[in-house]
């Protein structure tokens, strides 16, 4: 099982340098300007903004952006909510999920009696996206 410090280290890496790399790879960030939008400060703004208050407004996100070293207007943030941004955020989520899945299994003695443990869950997470990201048939 991961310790709190390991989780912190992983999130700093994923929401920092790796987010910047993914932003370039997905086309979300084309050039880097000092003080401008980067993959890391964009993803931190959205994640921490939504964590602080689930139904957050663009204005509240711009306030959170300042905490993430990003100065941006509401319209500037709104303009960056594009298909590339959605693809970028999807890649960050995939990177985070794959990292968590690679961690070692917890050594819980009671579970050793079973060959397999199957978890069934009907929980869904819905995202409001402006674009349909499903692959298109050609």
pLDDT tens readout for residues 17-36: 999 999 999 999 987 777 68
Rounded mean pLDDT, 70-81? 93
The SS3 call for residue 128 is: coil
pTM of the model: 0.71
- Per-residue pLDDT at 136: 63
pLDDT-based confidence at 124, cuts 50/70/90? low
Rounded mean pLDDT, 48-67? 91
Q: What is the spatial distance between Cα 79 and Cα 4, in angstroms, rounded to a whole number?
A: 35
Q: What is the spatial distance between Cα 72 and Cα 85, in angstroms, rounded to a whole number?
A: 16
Q: Are 16 and 43 in contact (CB under 8 A)?
A: no
pLDDT-based confidence at 54, cuts 50/70/90? confident
* pLDDT surpasses 60 at 6: yes
- Per-residue pLDDT at 113: 80
- Per-residue pLDDT at 115: 80
From residue 107, alpha-carbon distances to 2, 77, 99, 110, 118 in Å are 12, 44, 19, 9, 17
* pLDDT surpasses 90 at 132: no
pLDDT-based confidence at 130, cuts 50/70/90? low
- Per-residue pLDDT at 65: 93
* pLDDT surpasses 80 at 88: yes
């Amino acid at each position: 099982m991961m310790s709190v410090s390991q989780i912190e280290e992983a999130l700093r890496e994923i929401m920092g340098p790796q987010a910047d790399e993914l932003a370039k790879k997905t086309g979300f960030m084309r050039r880097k300007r000092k003080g401008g939008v980067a993959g890391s400060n964009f993803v931190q703004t959205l994640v921490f903004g939504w964590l602080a208050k689930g139904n957050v407004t663009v204005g509240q996100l711009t306030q959170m952006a300042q905490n993430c070293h990003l100065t941006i207007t509401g319209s500037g943030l709104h303009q960056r909510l594009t298909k590339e941004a959605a693809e970028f955020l999807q890649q960050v989520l995939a990177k985070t999920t794959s990292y968590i899945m690679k961690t070692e299994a917890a050594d819980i003695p009671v579970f050793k009696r079973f060959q397999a443990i199957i978890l069934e869950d009907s929980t869904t997470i819905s995202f409001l996206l402006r674009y349909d990201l499903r692959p298109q048939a050609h």
